Structure 1
Amino acid sequence: MITFGVSSDGDRIAEADSPAPTGVPVTALVEAAVAGGARRLWLHGGDHQGDGFHLRGGYTLMRGQVTQPPSPLPEVVEITDTATIRQVFADCYRGQWGHHQPRADYLPDPAWIHLGLRVADMWIGLCRVHRQRRYVDGPGIVPGHRDVDRYAQLLGGALCLLGPGSVEMESWGDEPAVLDRYQQMGLQVVTHDAGWECRLPPQET
């Protein structure tokens, strides 16, 4: 099954699970994506390097037990202003595999806490935390500031907020170095599906 949407940097994309288990040729998905007007095709799982795709991270589910949460950082603070959340949300995952363009009228769910990373009077990171579920939505950092230490700062802020206990986090499109740092902070990989991207030719008219 193929679905269509808009990537975090504004391209129309097509998205599907790897067809390898079903025997459906990748070319059929490429043709369907082009016919649907997509500029890029994202595949979840499998190995498609030989099919003209590039590895772009993937989906990772991580879990862990927090025994001694990190100390709070002054750079990581809650964002409560809706307009600011919308802008930072749009900026922090721009160009990252697996992330879609947020709706312009996105309204923050009060069950979620939006933690921002602020450096030199500029918001450069965002992390959403659900306290009741003890769940972290993978941190995002704006392009040009995507250093593993920045990601660690946001995750540290989330773990500090949640306090001792279990935690679950999902990430899309993160680099291996970022996932390695998360593991150093006590999270373990439960599931990882490779993320693949293919840039598509324009649809013929």
Structure 2
Amino acid sequence: MPRSHGSEIDTLIQLLAKLPGLGPRSARRSTLQLLKKRDSVMVPLARALEQVAEKIVICGTCGNIDTTDPCHVCEDGRRDRTTVCVVEDVADLWALDRSETYRGLYHVLGGTLSALDGVGPDELNIAPLLARAATGEVKEIILALNATVDGQTTSHYLAERLAEFGVKVTALAHGVPVGGELDYLDDGTLAAALKARGTVS
């Protein structure tokens, strides 16, 4: 079979295809765009990837991925240090922080408890969270875990463990999204919305 490009380009396509949201076809298109914009995009991107690969670290305080330890979130003196939002993954931290509605600190668990997958408390970043709660500086811990069975199991476990520290433990509300139509929502979302109902102001 005739080849339309070299093995180095093939390798780039295969690596890009491993990224979320990019299949083989999208990876080929992205590669072609990079090749066409070699000086303006491809070379700067390669440099940025190399720099990040060399400097990337896991924050020893919250578990965020950054180029400094402590990370930029933990180092930000403008943040409310009495509130900690617990998330499953760094992607969740970035998503919440992007909303610019929460200005406290974070804690990344690195997953959820799962008996089927053999993930217990020791496999997650739970002990450092309990240590943060024990300092007395943290007044509220927000459990922002996914509304899955494992996420809810983890939330209940954390709530029980945190109770001994006298910290207020809250959770994100689950229910009808803004712009959502009731007819298109699943039963679980509707049930959560009914349970979390409030007065109309």
Fold in common (TM above 0.5): no
TM score, norm. by length of structure 1: 0.30
Structure 1 or 2: larger helix share?
Answer: 2
- Structure number with the bigger relative contact order (C-alpha 8 A, sep ≥ 6) is 1
| Higher Cα radius of gyration | 2
Structure 1 or 2: larger strand share?
Answer: 1
